[in-house]
């Protein structure tokens, strides 16, 4: 439900203070230790960040897409590992249940996700199925009243701390594509669930990922999301549609932070007897970054408004995620350039953020996959029959 403007503004002010006073000062420690201190996670829970999108009836704030994106933008002025700590609860980890779950599934899991009592992860990718997610081979075989899962999921965000997974698995072995896939809620403590070792990532230290391995993992029949087989791929895509918009807002928030860091540095650093900000070649970099940020943010806000009005957002989400993730890569590159050699040194936030933002062009659909989603929709609109 949309919040009134004054309430949203108050919430955003609280988030801004939290980012400036608690998160940004902890960035270097999180990068060095690859871990967010428990106390900060507790503060995020108290602020309500884990339940931003969970409907109010289930204990969340129930933010509509335009409000959610404003909060994602604000939080993303801090290193993105912080947003990732609650990000799966707000987007792909909870949305499958929120959109397609049965009433009982919603009542059982959403309040705990909203409060942060449990972390929710989304398990779609496999060693052999990334961009071609519909080719996944994890099996869920019927067994009495329940199912038995076998397979490996790869690169699953927050898996090491997750209490529950949304797992896409094949219930119909005859059907090799999307129609044979169902979505399940699997609790992390269920017998037959095992985690792989931690991955040493290029960036976003403190945002853990690992494999999730299912070995004869038995789940009850009511673990099937929505109680209907064969709809799991659609459920996953619906969760990803809103998730992509959220990631696009995240990219915009990070770009704004990078631009602010660049302006501050350029004003303070002197060469040839004056601040480097006075050199027009530096100003051109600042202007390009600001303009590209504003374009991306306008795209995200327009898509969020239309999503809030009930328009389908598969293409809009893909456009926003594609443009914003490429944009923040260019902005981060310019930020390092403006900082000169200092931009290559980890004492400066831009060096860390440069590595952190690289992931956005890869997960929840690579840039190439977003291009395909956009072009396919364009061709369909024009009456063609794209592959
Ligand atoms: C830090 C991190 C966190 C992640 N979190 C999660 C998570 O929580 N849950 C989850 O399920 N997954 C997660 N992933 C997985 C992520 O979504 C995939 O890595 C991503 O979708 C790409 O799949 P892939 O790695 O198999 O690359 P591939 O699909 O093998 O792609 C390799 C290259 O081929 C290109 N390519 C592939 N197909 C086409 C095509 N048809 N046309 C043109 N180009 C193509 C790709 O764009 C890419 O450039 C995460 C990954 C990382 C690194």
Tens of pLDDT, residues 33-45? 999 999 999 999 9
Q: What is the pLDDT of residue 175?
A: 87
Q: What is the pLDDT of residue 387?
A: 64
Q: Are residues 218 and 244 in the same domain?
A: no
* Residue partners of 264: CB distance under 8 A and separation at least 6: none
CA of 93 from ligand 1 middle (Å) equals 17
Residue 77 domain-assigned?
yes
Domain boundary among 85, 115, 145: 115
Ligand 1 pocket member 155 (CB < 6 A): yes
Token pair in block for residue 371: 């291009």
Ligand 1 atom with the shortest distance to the CA of 204 = 1
Q: What is the pLDDT of residue 369?
A: 98
Ligand 1 atom with the shortest distance to the CA of 168 = 11
Mean pLDDT of 58-68: 96
Q: Are residues 246 and 293 in the same domain?
A: yes
Cα 109 versus chain centre, distance: 20
Q: Is a pLDDT exceeding 90 seen at residue 385?
A: no
- Measured in Å, how far apart are the chain's first and last C-alpha atoms? 38
Residue 223: CATH number of its domain? 2.40.110.10
Residue 142 domain-assigned?
yes
Distance, in Å, from the CA atom of 185 to the CA atom of 120, rounded to the nearest integer, reads: 10
Q: What is the pLDDT of residue 386?
A: 65
Please, what is the average pLDDT of the chain?
97
CA of 167 from ligand 1 middle (Å) equals 17
Name the band, by pLDDT with cuts 50, 70 and 90, for residue 96.
very high
Domain boundary among 86, 115, 144: 115
Catalytic residues: 364
Domain boundary among 193, 215, 230: 230
Distance, in Å, from the CA atom of 124 to the CA atom of 275, rounded to the nearest integer, reads: 49
What does pTM read for this prediction? 0.97
Q: What is the pLDDT of residue 353?
A: 98
- Across the strands, what pairs with 182? 169
Q: Are residues 157 and 193 in the same domain?
A: yes
Coil, helix or strand at residue 274: strand
Pocket residue to mutate for ligand 1, from 236, 363, 365, most atoms within 8 A of Cβ? 363
State the number of CA atoms in the 13 A half-sphere of 182 facing the CB: 25
Domain that holds residue 44: 5-115
Residue 163 domain-assigned?
yes
Q: For residue range 117-170, list pLDDT tens digits in order.
A: 999 999 999 999 999 999 999 999 999 999 999 999 999 999 999 999 999 999
Mean pLDDT of 56-73: 97
Number of domains in the chain: 3
Q: Is a pLDDT exceeding 90 seen at residue 173?
A: no
Q: Are residues 241 and 369 in the same domain?
A: yes
Residue nearest to atom 23 of ligand 1 (CA): 130
Residue nearest to atom 2 of ligand 1 (CA): 155
CA of 298 from ligand 1 middle (Å) equals 27
Mean pLDDT of 329-349: 97
Residue 79: CATH number of its domain? 1.10.540.10
Residue 386 domain-assigned?
no
Residue 248: CATH number of its domain? 1.20.140.10
Ligand 1 pocket member 135 (CB < 6 A): no
Q: Are residues 52 and 158 in the same domain?
A: no
Cα 13 to Cα 71, 255, 258, distances in angstroms: 10, 19, 20
Ligand 1 pocket member 239 (CB < 6 A): no
Residue nearest to atom 29 of ligand 1 (CA): 131
Q: Is a pLDDT exceeding 90 seen at residue 244?
A: yes
Token pair in block for residue 341: 């050699």
Q: What is the pLDDT of residue 163?
A: 98
């Amino acid at each position: 439900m949309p919040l009134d403007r004054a309430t949203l503004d108050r919430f955003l002010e609280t988030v801004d203070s939290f980012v400036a006073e608690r998160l940004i000062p902890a960035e270097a420690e999180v990068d060095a230790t690859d871990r967010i201190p428990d106390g900060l996670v507790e503060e995020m829970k108290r602020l309500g960040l884990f339940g931003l999108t969970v409907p109010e009836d289930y204990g969340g704030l129930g933010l509509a897409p335009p409000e959610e994106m404003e909060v994602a933008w604000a939080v993303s002025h801090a290193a993105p590992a912080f947003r990732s700590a609650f990000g799966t609860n707000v987007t792909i980890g909870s949305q499958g249940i929120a959109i397609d779950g049965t009433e009982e599934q919603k009542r059982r899991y959403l309040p705990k996700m909203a409060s942060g009592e449990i972390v929710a992860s989304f398990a779609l990718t496999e060693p052999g199925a990334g961009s071609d997610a519909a080719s996944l081979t994890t099996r869920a075989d019927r067994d009495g009243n329940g199912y038995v899962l076998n397979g490996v999921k790869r690169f699953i965000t927050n898996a090491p701390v997750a209490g529950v997974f949304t797992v896409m698995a094949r219930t119909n072995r005859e059907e090799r594509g999307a129609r044979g896939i169902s979505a399940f809620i699997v609790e992390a403590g269920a017998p037959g669930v095992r985690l792989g070792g931690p991955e040493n990532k290029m960036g976003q230290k403190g945002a853990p990922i690992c494999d999730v391995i299912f070995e004869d993992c038995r789940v009850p029949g009511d673990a099937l999301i929505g109680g209907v087989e064969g709809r799991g791929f659609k459920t996953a895509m619906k969760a990803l549609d809103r998730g992509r918009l959220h990631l696009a807002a995240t990219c915009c928030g990070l770009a704004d932070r990078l631009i602010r860091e660049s302006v501050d540095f350029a004003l303070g650093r002197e060469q040839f007897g004056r601040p480097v900000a006075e050199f027009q070649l530096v100003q051109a970099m600042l202007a390009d970054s600001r303009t590209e940020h504003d374009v991306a943010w306008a795209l995200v806000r327009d898509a969020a408004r239309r999503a809030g009005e009930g328009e389908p957002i598969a293409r809009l989400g893909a456009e926003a995620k594609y443009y914003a993730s490429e944009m923040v890569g260019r902005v981060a590159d310019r930020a390092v350039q403006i900082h000169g050699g200092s931009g290559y040194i980890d004492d400066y936030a831009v060096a860390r953020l440069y590595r952190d933002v690289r992931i956005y062009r890869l997960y929840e659909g690579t840039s190439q996959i977003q291009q395909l989603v956009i072009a396919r929709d364009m061709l369909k609109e024009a009456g063609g029959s794209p592959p």
